[in-house]
């Protein structure tokens, strides 16, 4: 039982694990016979470690590449946890893939990864947050702090008044007004057709097919924690200028999974994203930094921070790793571990 040591032993949860592992690691439409998830066993056949592996098609300068995404890296703490973790990580990195990626890695995973010759993409390990309702965002943070939690509840009505003024006052950084661009529902056909344009010529990027893209969208929509998937194709009159996907959770945080735009259109795409999330009641929008959008995000009064997970990469060709370090790889949270989680 992989999750047993965490104490999650309720019957409903245990019964759902086989379906989850089958769906994500065995029946994934991007599965490849050359890559499979890894299990570490003791001499008696007892499982003491697991590392999930999901193939992902990528390309660079027209060359097709095989990437492997690692997820659910767990070991039994009752055994030789450190040795098991290193053995699993080494077996993964020694696989047939051109590129290995772990984009929600812990500090421990990072130390193991770098010890085996892998690299941390520091820029992709930075996150940003755009407050939309600043007073309620501040209270949501206070609710997690025991002694001041009652104050946060009592201050709720006042926070709503403050936010109403902040978002409607001209000149305020939190002012929201209707964007000049329009939106349609984002369909799979548009992503497949326009991805090369928005990923950048010659850049390292993911390669979707219809089945894999549908599967990823279903994973977001079926997130056990609830919330809603929001996706929009942005147009400036008739011209398609980009798109975005985000997951609005029950706490009012819009988690951005992917932004596609060009340097000349990203400001309009962000304006529509923030306005739409605000209209749907979000208190903030947050996402992982795409380095090529750094200036645009800064111009929109986003806050940058390190909040925990690391982006780790390792490649058989140095140019693949360098593409991440240079900030020109098109690889979003939608493409990584976020959609693979339990």
Task: Return per-residue pLDDT of the chain as tens, 342 residues.
Answer: 344 444 445 555 667 888 899 999 999 999 999 999 999 998 788 899 999 999 999 999 989 999 999 999 999 988 788 999 999 999 999 999 999 999 999 999 999 999 999 999 999 999 999 999 988 788 777 666 666 555 555 566 667 777 777 777 777 888 888 999 999 999 999 999 999 999 976 689 999 999 999 999 999 988 877 789 999 999 999 899 999 999 999 899 999 999 999 999 999 999 999 999 999 999 999 999 999 999 999 999 999 998 789 999 999 999 999 999 999 899 999 999 999 988
Q: Report if residue 142 sits inside a domain.
A: no
Looking at 273, 288, 305, the residue that finishes a domain is 305
Residues 118 and 182 in one domain: no
Q: What is the pTM of this model?
A: 0.89
Instruction: Residue 14: give its domain's CATH number.
Output: 3.40.630.30
Please answer whether residues 37 and 52 qualify as being in contact, where contact means their C-beta atoms are separated by less than 8 angstroms: yes
- What sections of 143-279 are H helices per DSSP? 149-154, 156-168, 188-199, 210-221, 266-279
Residues 102 and 187 in one domain: no
Q: What is the CA radius of gyration of the chain?
A: 21
Residues 262 and 198 in one domain: yes
Residues 195 and 276 in one domain: yes
Residues 109 and 185 in one domain: no
pLDDT digits (tens, 9 = 90+) for 126-173: 999 999 998 878 877 766 666 655 555 556 666 777 777 777 777 788
Residues 187 and 86 in one domain: no
Please answer whether residues 114 and 106 qualify as being in contact, where contact means their C-beta atoms are separated by less than 8 angstroms: no
Q: Report if residue 38 sits inside a domain.
A: yes
Residues 180 and 300 in one domain: yes
Q: Between the CA of residue 185 and those of 113, 156, 219, 247, 313, what are the distances in Å?
A: 39, 34, 18, 15, 33
Q: Report if residue 250 sits inside a domain.
A: yes
Residues 252 and 185 in one domain: yes
Residues 208 and 292 in one domain: yes
Q: For the chain, how many structural domains are there in total?
A: 2
pLDDT digits (tens, 9 = 90+) for 269-315: 999 999 999 999 999 999 999 999 999 999 999 999 987 899 999 99
What are the φ/ψ torsions at residue 172 (nearest 5 degrees)? -75, 145
Residues 181 and 301 in one domain: yes
Looking at 110, 125, 140, the residue that finishes a domain is 125
Beta carbons within 8 Å of 141's beta carbon, 6+ residues apart:
none
Residues 74 and 180 in one domain: no
3-class SS shares of the chain: helix, strand, coil, % to 5: 40, 30, 30
Q: Which domain holds residue 268?
A: 127-132+176-305
Q: Report if residue 51 sits inside a domain.
A: yes
**Chain mean position to CA 306:** 14
């Amino acid at each position: 039982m992989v999750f047993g040591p965490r104490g999650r032993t309720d019957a409903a949860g245990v019964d759902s694990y086989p379906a989850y592992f089958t769906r994500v690691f065995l029946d994934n439409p991007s599965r490849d016979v050359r890559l499979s998830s890894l299990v570490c066993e003791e001499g008696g056949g007892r499982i003491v470690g697991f590392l999930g592996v999901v193939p992902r098609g990528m390309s660079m300068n027209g060359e097709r590449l095989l990437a492997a995404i690692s997820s659910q890296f767990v070991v039994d703490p009752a055994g030789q946890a450190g040795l098991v973790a290193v053995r699993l990580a080494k077996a993964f990195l020694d696989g047939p893939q051109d590129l290995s990626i772990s984009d929600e890695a812990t500090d421990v995973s990072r130390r193991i990864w770098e010890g085996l010759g892998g690299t941390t993409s520091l820029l992709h390990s930075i996150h940003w947050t755009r407050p939309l309702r600043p007073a309620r965002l501040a209270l949501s943070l206070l609710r997690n702090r025991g002694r001041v939690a009652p104050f946060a509840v009592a201050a709720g009505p006042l926070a709503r008044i403050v936010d109403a003024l902040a978002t409607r006052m001209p000149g305020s950084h939190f002012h929201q007004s209707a964007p000049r661009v329009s939106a349609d529902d984002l369909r799979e056909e548009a992503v497949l057709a326009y991805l090369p344009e928005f990923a950048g010529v010659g850049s390292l990027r993911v390669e979707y097919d219809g089945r894999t893209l549908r599967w990823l969208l279903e994973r977001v929509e079926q997130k056990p924690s609830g919330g809603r998937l929001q996706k929009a194709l942005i147009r400036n009159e008739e011209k398609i200028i980009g798109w975005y996907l985000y997951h609005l959770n029950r706490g009012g945080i819009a988690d951005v999974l992917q932004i596609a735009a060009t340097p000349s259109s990203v400001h309009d795409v962000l304006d529509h994203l923030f306005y739409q999330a605000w209209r749907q009641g979000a208190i903030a929008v947050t996402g992982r930094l795409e380095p090529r959008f750094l200036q645009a995000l800064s111009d929109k009064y986003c806050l940058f921070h390190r909040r925990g997970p690391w982006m780790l990469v390792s490649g058989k060709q140095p140019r693949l790793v360098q593409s991440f370090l240079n900030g020109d790889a098109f690889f979003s949270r939608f493409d990584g571990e976020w959609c693979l989680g339990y």
